[in-house]
């Protein structure tokens, strides 16, 4: 929940110029997910650029008396190709259960949106040694609600909750370990799905740690938080991904 029209204009302009002018290599696919209020404006600014548009959340219903909510169809209509579901803040602050996250992934996919499904453990869960159990439970709930057919269009983002907004970052080995677990879960659907589904790391990725994280065999990119609000930092991460 950051930004203004002026900030959106400036940030998108700086990032697109950084890509189009080839100051940053464009070997990576780039996506931005502004707040709902700026989606239509962002869509216009992103026309004829290499950057895709996504939203930060959606409702499970197609339409109806759900004041204040946004449907998958509305997001598609305004120009979105992606939507984040199950972000750790949605789970922690708004009580979204594993099942609701799965329903949101299903709703997104049904309207042609690619859900970015967030999974991850809290600090307490990591300290208790149940990271694998938590991530597996969250993944299977999505599979139960939305089905395996959402992959490989759907993206998975591993968010160690203890590393979001804290300045802490999972070590490259810690991140790779969980990404490998997720890859193994996808392998249960099929080898093709496991090989072609993107698994992103989302836990305080910065320009100075991005290259090491992205070099891991099962880390396909990043879900960037605070660093995406500064064009130079975001471009640095894109360059590392390229």
Specify the CATH number for the domain of residue 226.
3.20.20.70
Q: What are the pLDDT digits (tens) for 92-108?
A: 999 999 999 999 999 99
User: Once rounded to an integer, what is the mean pLDDT over residues 147-153?
Assistant: 97
Which tokens is 53 given?
A: 């548009």
Q: What pLDDT, in 10s, does the model give residues 176-201?
A: 999 999 999 999 999 999 999 999 99
Q: By mean pLDDT, which of 32-36, 167-171, 203-207, 218-222 is the weakest?
A: 167-171
Q: Name the nearest CA neighbour of 34 among 4, 73, 70.
A: 4
DSSP H helices, the chain, are 5-20, 39-46, 72-77, 88-94, 98-110, 123-127, 131-146, 172-187, 191-196, 207-214, 231-241
CA–CA distance, 124 with 76 (Å, rounded to integer): 37
Output the pTM of the full model: 0.95
* Residue 239's pLDDT band (cuts 50, 70, 90): very high
Q: Which residues are catalytically annotated?
A: 87, 159
- Domain tally, the chain: 1
Residue ranges making up the domain that contains 95: 5-241
């Amino acid at each position: 929940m950051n930004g203004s029209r002026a900030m959106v204009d400036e940030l998108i302009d700086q990032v697109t110029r950084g890509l189009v002018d080839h100051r940053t290599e464009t070997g990576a696919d780039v996506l931005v997910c502004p707040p709902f209020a700026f989606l239509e404006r962002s869509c216009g600014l992103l026309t004829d650029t290499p950057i895709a548009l996504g939203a930060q959340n959606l409702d499970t219903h197609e339409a109806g008396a759900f004041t204040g909510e946004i449907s998958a169809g509305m997001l598609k209509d305004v120009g979105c190709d992606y939507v984040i579901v199950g972000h750790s803040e949605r789970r922690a602050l708004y009580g979204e259960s594993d099942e609701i996250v799965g329903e949101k992934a299903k709703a997104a996919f049904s309207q042609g949106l690619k859900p970015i499904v967030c999974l991850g453990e809290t600090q307490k869960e990591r300290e208790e040694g149940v990271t694998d159990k938590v991530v597996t439970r969250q993944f299977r709930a999505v599979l139960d609600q939305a089905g395996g057919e959402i992959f490989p269009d759907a993206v998975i983002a591993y968010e160690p909750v203890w590393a979001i907004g804290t300045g802490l970052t999972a070590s490259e080995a810690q991140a790779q370990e969980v990404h490998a677990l997720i890859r193994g879960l996808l392998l249960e659907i099929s080898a093709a799905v496991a090989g072609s589904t993107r698994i992103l790391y989302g836990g305080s990725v910065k320009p100075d740690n991005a290259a090491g994280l992205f070099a891991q065999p099962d880390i396909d990119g990043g879900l960037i938080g605070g660093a995406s609000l500064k064009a130079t930092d975001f471009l640095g991460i894109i360059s590392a991904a390229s």
